[in-house]
Amino acid sequence: MFDMNPLNLPDAQLQQLIMLVVAAVLGFIIGYVSRRSTIKELEGILVTTERDLDDCYRQTPVVADTDDEEAIVLNRIRSRSSEVNFGRIGMASAIDADNLKVIVGIGPYLEKKLNAIGIYTFRQIANFAPEDIEQVNDIIEFFPGRIERDNWVGQAADLVNKK
């Protein structure tokens, strides 16, 4: 009855060696695949964090003056500046700022709103695509269609060419 010991078979050690190699290979493959997925997940988190950090650097400091209606509106608009596609229209800062009031339809308060979301130059306005016009119109809480009617993009393109 106790004569059935599997270790007494002539190729038992070879079978054990093969099982050990198969287990090692499977363990390596599973570890490699799970490590790659973890790396991809962490790279995605890193990209998102870097983008959020860049957004923080681009934003101008928020002054919390709750008594001033204009400051409340500008802070609300500034908080939505990340929705603008700066990859398409271009980046600018207050140092690069043009006098946007030269464009017919942009007054002092509207210029402040545009500056609050990071639009400072004629070139940025000239680069507006229809989606950008719609998005900016919504963010700055402006009359729908007014940007097209006043032809901001055309005026800005003319002003860029004159520079």
0.75 exceeded by pTM: no
Contact status, residue 101 vs residue 108, Cβ threshold 8 Å: yes
Q: How far apart are CA 9 and CA 113, in angstroms?
A: 86
CA distances in angstroms from 125 to 5, 41, 74, 87, 91, listed in the order given: 85, 37, 19, 13, 11
Coil, helix or strand at residue 25: helix
Residue where the block lists tokens 């402040």: 112
pLDDT tens, residue by residue, 56-88? 777 655 555 555 788 888 888 888 888 888 889
pLDDT tens, residue by residue, 11-49? 888 888 999 999 999 999 999 999 999 999 999 999 988
Contact status, residue 139 vs residue 83, Cβ threshold 8 Å: yes
Q: How far apart are CA 119 and CA 95, in angstroms?
A: 12
